[in-house]
Amino acid sequence: MAIAYFFPHLLVATQMLFMHFFPSVLTSVFSLAFVFLIHPLIDLILSKQISTTATSKFYSTIANASSLRTSRAAVRIYPLIQSIFLIYCFYWITNLNLDHSENFWIITLAALSVGTLTGGLGITCAHELIHRKSRLDRFLGLILLHQTNYMHFEVEHIKGHHKNVGTAQDPASADRGEILYFFWPRAVLGGLISSYKIQSRTQDSLIRNKIIHFLVIEILTLVLIQVLLGSIALAFFVVQSIVAILLVETVNYIEHYGLRRKRQLTGAYEPVHESHSWDCGNIFTNIFLFNIAIHADHHEHPQKHFPMLHLRIASKKYDIGYSALIWLALIYPLWRQYTHPILDRSR
């Protein structure tokens, strides 16, 4: 069953094949359409058709040594697949006839599709890798984050988000009533500032600060793309990065919306508990997102490999998948109508 975690690799390969053999406006938006149209429909259908017992059986089946080896291979191979895909994208752009007016839309829509993949799949895979103790895994995670200009996420997520989740100190935890479009700048800028402060506490020199290193690498990458491939390729890379970043922060918004840790008498926050994250057991969501939607267990046991994660009893539960939830989050009245009754019932 763990072989299902290679579906993201298949999606990336399919997008690349469409771009190569059938370059058109329609094929450029394949991944975009899959994630925001086809995937939500399948999510909704599966959430109604697959019983809770069947879902539990699926997660129990993949939580064994053999499945662990397969799933570990899936997250280690994915960075190679995405790297090949991005290199191909640059080749593809430089060989398009830009005098043809349709090609402007092809490139623009392709950038949106690519960002959906590098954010929805790439940063999600990076999230799993940067949590591992292996230097190889963390390096592979940084490669994926580099491809979306979001390398500081490696510091902020591990040392900031997991420590401060569910508090005002965490830019990635959305308040109840906070609209996604206001959450985005707070999460992106707040995460960058937080990561710099975290590193500054251990490195008093700018030269030794890891976040400065990451920013320099990202800026040099942009300059290199401009010099070697031109402004069209640079614009493509920047657009796909923005889409990827906004997508991953939308996932953060979904995962902790409206959940807050209480202050204790000592003034410190209560320990992180399963009630401080939302869970989603939708199989189709978790196959493509490396079980990131089983989030409460992840926050209580950050080192646990993703196939070993289990839905927790006290966590808040979504009964639809992430693709459908993103649509709701983008339309706040619908988001409020869906989430607030669940929050109110758990008070």
Which one-letter DSSP state was computed for residue 179? -
**Domain enclosing residue 81, as ranges:** 2-345
Integer Cα distance of 234 and 232 in angstroms? 5
> What's the pLDDT tens digit per position in 143-187?
999 999 999 999 999 999 999 999 999 999 999 999 999 999 999
Strand 316-318 with 278-280, pairing: parallel
Considering its fold, how many domains does the chain have in total? 1
> What's the pLDDT tens digit per position in 64-98?
655 778 889 999 999 999 999 999 999 998 887 76
The helix or strand, by DSSP H or E, that contains position 279, with its residue range, turns out to be strand 278-280
Q: Is the pTM of this model over 0.85?
A: yes
Overall average pLDDT of the 215-219 stretch: 96
**What percent of the chain lies above the pLDDT cut of 90?**
60
Helix intervals (H) in 22-96: 25-28, 30-33, 39-49, 52-62, 65-94
| pLDDT band, very low/low/confident/very high, at 52 (cuts 50, 70, 90) | low
